[in-house]
């Protein structure tokens, strides 16, 4: 059992490193209004975050992560480029399903993080290089991905705008994404909407229903997606190799799928920037599915540092680009390019004692 004080000391060490990298330290609230988090993450967050109620402020949540308060703080008046760092507790509950776990995960632990808001093509590489340097002593496996590549691949499929939008909306939900894709590959069975005598009820309007029915009607003429595209997507998702090998596979794929070339070019460019910064690309894994199965709103570069042989551990450090989140938080759709990540000092402490 490592004392919290010791974990805190390790967190302070990383915080100091983030300050030296030019970040201003911020201390977001621990109790956050639940509304924003719920709107952003949906019911999943209620299953993971502790909620409480305040007679005046309504439902509040114990901070489940730092991203939202830091983005809000920046949007309220930060100038670009901005670098922020923070250290503090986050709180996560675990709903065990049918059986109680033998070793429950910590429900309160430290995160130390760094966020960069900047219109700068080097930003991804800057953040990754910083985390890479800090994680170097611990022999972790570095895994990267790129949701921008996945999204470009979806946009490049020969699909109607409506079909493409549906796939993009569910790009972080592999099951639903797969169901949609399988449906688009089949001929459309025309829908026969039964006449129903029931009176209209509820807030969804009849016009909304008619719009959807019109969309489904228009979709009846859509050509089935050629299975060759699904095979290409699957080939892309299956790419998981050290950066140079993954890039070679991606270029092969782009040969027969030219629309993918710009996104592949970006992955290559990032690898070059890392290499310029002294990181050997062959030591970094590129996994095309990496962001597909992680948090919603990561929409570009993603990374994690994983302790191999530590079953059940989350990544020791993780992060990525989340412009999509700033667009939702910014209401009027004002997206701010944002990339950042966190380290879990508690896990680093365990690595240091063993």
Partner 1 sequence: MIRLGVPSKGRLMEQTFDWFAARGITLSRSGSDREYAGRVQGADGVSLVLLSAGEIPRELAAGRIELGVTGTDLVREKLAGWRSDVTEVASMGFGHADLILAVPDCWRDCENLDDFAAIARDFRAAHGFRLRIATKYHRLVRAWLAGHEVADYQLVDSQGATEGTVANQTAEAIADITSSGETLRANNLRILAEEPILRSQATLFVGRGALEEVRPFLAQLGVAV
- Examine residue 31 and tell whether it contacts partner 1 (CB under 8 A): no
Question: How far, in Å, CA of 234 to CA of 227, rounded?
Answer: 10
Give CA–CA dist 133/192, Å, rounded. Answer: 60
Q: Return the residue of 118, 164, 168, 216 that touches partner 1, per CB under 8 A.
A: 216
Tell me which of 25, 27, 57, 191 binds partner 1, using CB under 8 A.
Answer: 191
Q: The tokens of 1 are what?
A: 């059992």
Q: Which of 1, 77, 95, 227 binds partner 1 (CB under 8 A)?
A: 95
Total number of residues shown for the chain: 354
Instruction: Give the DSSP letter of residue 122.
Output: T
200 near partner 1, rule: CB under 8 A = yes
Smallest gap from residue 269 Cβ to partner 1 (A)? 32
Q: Which stretch binds partner 1 (CB under 8 A): 81-89, 113-121, 199-207, 220-228?
A: 199-207
Work out the angle at residue 277's Cα, subtended by the Cα atoms of residues 271 and 283, and round it to the nearest 5 degrees: 55
Pick the binder of partner 1 from 194, 258, 353, 354 (CB under 8 A).
194
Closer to partner 1 by Cβ: residue 76 or 194: 194
Among 39, 54, 234, 259, binds partner 1 (CB under 8 A): 39
Which window, 60-68, 81-89, 176-184, 335-343, contacts partner 1 (CB under 8 A)?
176-184
Copy the structure tokens of residue 294: 């992680």
Q: Who's near 164: CB < 8 A, 6+ residues apart?
A: 154, 155, 157
Is residue 85 within 8 A of residue 19, CB to CB? The reply is yes
Helix (H, G, I), strand (E, B) or coil at 175: helix
Q: What are phi and psi of 198, to 5 degrees?
A: -60, 140
Name the site residues for partner 1 (rule: CB under 8 A).
38-39, 42-44, 46-47, 95-101, 166, 169-170, 173-176, 179, 183, 191, 193-196, 198-204, 206, 208-209, 211-213, 216, 296
């Amino acid at each position: 059992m490592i004392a919290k004080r010791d974990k805190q000391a390790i967190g302070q060490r990383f915080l100091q490193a983030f300050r030296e990298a030019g970040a201003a330290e911020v201390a977001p609230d621990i109790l956050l209004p639940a509304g924003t988090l719920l709107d952003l993450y949906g019911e999943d967050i209620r299953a993971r975050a502790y909620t409480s109620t305040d007679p005046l402020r309504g439902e509040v949540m114990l901070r489940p992560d730092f991203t939202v308060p830091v983005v809000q703080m920046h949007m309220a008046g930060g100038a670009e480029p901005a670098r922020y760092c923070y250290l503090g507790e986050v709180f996560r509950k675990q709903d065990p399903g049918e059986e109680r776990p033998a070793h429950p995960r910590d429900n309160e632990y430290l995160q130390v993080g760094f966020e960069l808001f900047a219109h700068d093509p080097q930003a991804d590489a800057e953040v990754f290089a910083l985390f890479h340097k800090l994680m170097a002593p611990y022999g972790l496996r570095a895994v990267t991905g790129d949701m921008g590549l996945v999204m470009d691949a979806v946009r490049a499929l020969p699909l109607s705008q409506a079909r493409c939008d549906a796939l993009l909306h569910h790009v972080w939900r592999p099951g639903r994404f797969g169901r949609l894709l399988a449906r688009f590959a089949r001929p459309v069975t025309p829908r026969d909407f039964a006449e129903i005598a029931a009176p209209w009820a509820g807030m969804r309007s009849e016009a909304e229903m008619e719009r959807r029915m019109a969309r489904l009607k228009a979709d009846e003429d859509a050509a089935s997606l050629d299975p060759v595209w699904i095979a290409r997507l699957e080939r892309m998702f299956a790419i998981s190799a050290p950066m140079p090998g993954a890039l070679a596979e991606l270029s092969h794929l782009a040969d027969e799928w030219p629309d993918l070339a710009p996104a592949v070019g970006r992955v290559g460019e990032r690898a070059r920037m890392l290499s310029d910064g002294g990181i050997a690309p062959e030591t970094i894994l590129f996994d095309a599915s990496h962001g597909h199965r992680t948090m919603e709103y990561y929409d570009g570069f993603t990374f994690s540092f994983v302790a191999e042989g530590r079953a059940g551990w989350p990544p020791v450090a993780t992060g990525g680009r989340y412009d999509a989140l700033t667009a939702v938080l910014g209401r009027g759709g004002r997206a701010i390019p944002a990339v950042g990540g966190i380290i879990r000092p508690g896990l680093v402490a365990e690595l240091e004692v063993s």
